[in-house]
Amino acid sequence: MNIFSGKKILLGVTGGIAAYKSTFLTRLLVKAGASVRVILTPAARDFVTPLTLSTLSKNPVLSSFTNEDDDNDLWNNHVDLGLWADLMIIAPATANTMSKMVTGNIDNLLLAVYSSAKCPVYFAPAMDLDMYKHPSTTANFEKLASYGNYMIPAGDGELASGLSGKGRMAEPEEIMSFVGKQLEQDLPLFGKKCLITAGPTHESLDPVRFIGNHSTGKMGMALAHNLANRGAQVILIMGPSSVNSEHYFIHRIDVTSAQEMYDTVHKHIAHQDYAIFSAAVADYRPATTADQKIKKSADTLTIELVKNPDILASVGAMENRPFLVGFALETENELEHAFAKAKKKNTDLLILNSMKDKGAGFGTDTNKITMIDRLGNAEVFPLKSKELVAKDIIDEVIKRTQ
């Protein structure tokens, strides 16, 4: 998964020879997981066909306010299109189109959508050398930038006129790189680092049996995705779980036991801005692990257990620790035990779950939490999806750290 995955993108194509590159750009965007809708100016149809772009984008290509082949004369609503998009790219952007973008001369569907767009707009100029250097063009570049648009610089090279110089539209890969980097920088947590533990741990009794719990890792995964969607670089240390973690900003490390999780946490904890420990770590492990499967013989079986290292407490005791969020799952005297744990483990926030709350705990798609800070304040949240619970937690982390 990358920064374009799931993005809704309007691609505007204007009437220049570089319009052929829009086919390659469309293919790259779709391959990256974006949903792409293409709008052609009337002049662009002389350079690239709607059939080609509709095939590549997997969406109908628009070029007028009504569909010419539709007997019902359905209107292509430029306002709806502008609201639909997460971002808009105009490539190529000819001198003529940029002039109209500056002056508000809305004489085609693309310009109407541009003027209605609420999303970031990127434009990739393409024209001949002298046109590119003309003072009116330079002024339009500056004016469009002052409107909040992002200019993708043209490159040097051979131009359609046979001249060589500035004005060649950026290559599709360069456009993807430019827009991708800008999207990353615009994310609120871009540059922040977070370590998250999630899922259960399994403590082996023998080669086929283990001590574990019913944690699925869904809550930790929701937290990881929320942070990653806001631009944070996430190290996700996951116990045994089948939950999918694919994301551009998530680096997943799979572990099995509490000791492995402890070792992995301390290997990566340095220089983290946040640490969120949502894993359901086994408190104890067998003192010894049998090399062979334990055979059923006597009516009872005694297993000696020893305490596992306390990951949360070990990080809470660090001198230069990150902002620390812990989880507590309780079955009785919930607040009393949670307050004691928050103090003992030295957390900045402690997220309390109660097994008494319907829809909370292991294996569900929902959760109900109480958020406790280091001053002893407690805030109760209603039952929500784990994605919305993750948002509440990360919102609070951001509020307390920025």
Q: Which residues are catalytic?
A: 213
Instruction: Kindly provide the b/e burial profile for residues 300-326, where b requires at least 16 CB atoms within 10 angstroms of the residue's own CB.
Output: eeeeeeeebebbbeebbeeeebbbbbb
Full DSSP string of 72-91: T--B--HHHHHHH-SEEEEE
Tokens, residue 322:
């990150």
What dihedral do alpha carbons 45, 47, 49, 54 form, nearest 10°?
-90
Could you give the CA distance from residue 367 to residue 34 in angstroms, rounded to a whole number?
30
Evaluate whether 154 touches 166 at the Cβ level (below 8 Å): yes
Burial class of residue 385 in the structure, from the number of CB atoms within 10 Å of its CB (0-12 exposed, 13-18 middle, 19+ buried): middle
What dihedral do alpha carbons 90, 91, 96, 101 form, nearest 10°?
10
The amino acid present at 320, given as its one-letter code, is: N
The conformation of residue 322, written as its DSSP 8-state character, comes to: P
Could you give the CA distance from residue 321 to residue 332 in angstroms, rounded to a whole number?
30
21-31 and 172-186 helices cross at what angle (nearest 10)?
50
Q: Cα 126 vs. chain centroid, distance in angstroms? A: 31
Could you give the CA distance from residue 194 to residue 225 in angstroms, rounded to a whole number?
11
Could you give the CA distance from residue 124 to residue 94 in angstroms, rounded to a whole number?
8
Instruction: Dump strand ranges (E) for 159-232.
Output: 164-168, 193-198, 203-204, 210-211
